[in-house]
């Protein structure tokens, strides 16, 4: 009696995405694939094959690099409307917000549309005073301007929309006001609270 083969011949040719290891393959290409061992039908020695697997989620460093590159490339397209110091400051702030050593896997990289809204607000309203920036769990940018103990906080929402919060201290006590508005109306809606002190340093 002939021994049963380990695999029944199927007549199906080996797919292109399954290939034997060759000496010409680089270490990086081998790491990008998963290695399996198959026994020949005749019961001979194992042959190692590389089987291409769906690419896993990008590692954190790649995610951060891609997000920064996307934001900076877009900035280069509107660079003629920004002074060099503003561009450098924005890039420094983005780099700090996407520091791989401090990154939590649950965080999201900056939402490009949110960043675009911030830059458009700076250009459209000729904002001279640069805010501090924070990154929200959603990936939206949160900007904050200070004037003494008073604060203006703005979340830049995709679609050129804004959510803002003013916190002021008066003789009668602390006051708070908040709202949402289109990007183009930011100065108008903040006029009662002294928009110039946030944006113009006056």
The two structure tokens encoding residue 10: 């199927």
Split at pLDDT 50, 70, 90, the class of 102 is confident
pLDDT confidence of residue 9: 44
User: CA–CA separation, 194 vs 179, rounded Å?
Assistant: 15
The CB density around residue 201, as the number of other CB atoms within 10 Å, is: 10
Average pLDDT, the chain: 78
Q: How many residues does the chain have?
A: 202
Helix (H, G, I), strand (E, B) or coil at 180: strand
Q: pLDDT at position 189, please?
A: 94
Q: How confident is the model at residue 200 (pLDDT cuts 50, 70, 90)?
A: confident
Section 143-147 average pLDDT: 93
Is it the case that residue 16 has pLDDT exceeding 60?
Answer: no
Task: Tell me what the mean pLDDT of segment 137-162 comes to.
Answer: 93
pLDDT at residue 143, as a whole number: 95
Would you state the pLDDT for residue 60?
A: 87
Q: What pLDDT shows up at residue 32?
A: 43
* pLDDT at residue 46, as a whole number: 45
- Mean pLDDT of all residues in 111-136: 94
**Number of helical H runs and strand E runs in the chain:** 6, 8
Higher confidence at residue 34 or residue 173? Answer: 173
Q: Quick one: pLDDT at residue 169?
A: 83
Which one, of 56, 69, 77, lies nearest residue 98 by Cα?
69
More confident position, 140 or 6: 140
Give the model's pLDDT for residue 7: 39
The per-residue pLDDT for 112 is 96
pLDDT at res. 8: 42
Q: What is the structure's pLDDT at 65?
A: 94
Q: Give me the pLDDT at residue 58, please.
A: 65
Would you say residue 17 has pLDDT above 90? no
| Other CB atoms within 10 A of residue 199 CB | 22
| Nearest of 161, 156, 164, 172 to residue 193 by alpha carbon | 164
Check residues 46 and 92 and name the one with the higher pLDDT.
92
């Amino acid at each position: 009696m002939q021994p049963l083969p380990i695999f029944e011949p199927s007549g199906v040719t080996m797919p292109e995405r399954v290939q034997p290891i060759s000496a010409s393959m680089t270490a990086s290409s081998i790491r990008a694939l998963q290695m399996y061992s198959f026994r020949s039908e005749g019961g001979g020695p194992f042959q190692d094959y590389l089987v291409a697997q769906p690419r896993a989620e990008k590692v954190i460093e790649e995610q951060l690099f891609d997000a920064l590159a996307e934001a900076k490339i877009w900035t280069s397209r509107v660079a003629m409307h920004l002074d060099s110091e503003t561009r450098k400051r924005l890039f420094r702030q983005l780099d700090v917000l996407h520091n791989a050593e401090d990154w939590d896997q649950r965080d999201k990289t900056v939402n490009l549309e949110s960043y675009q809204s911030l830059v458009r607000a700076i250009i459209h309203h000729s904002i001279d005073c640069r805010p501090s920036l924070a990154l929200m769990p959603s990936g939206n940018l949160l900007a904050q301007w200070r004037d003494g103990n008073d604060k203006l906080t703005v979340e830049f929402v995709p679609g050129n929309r804004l959510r803002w919060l003013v916190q002021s201290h008066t003789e009668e006590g602390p006051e708070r006001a908040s709202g949402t508005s289109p990007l183009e109306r930011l100065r108008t809606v903040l006029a009662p609270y002294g928009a110039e002190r946030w944006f113009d340093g006056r």
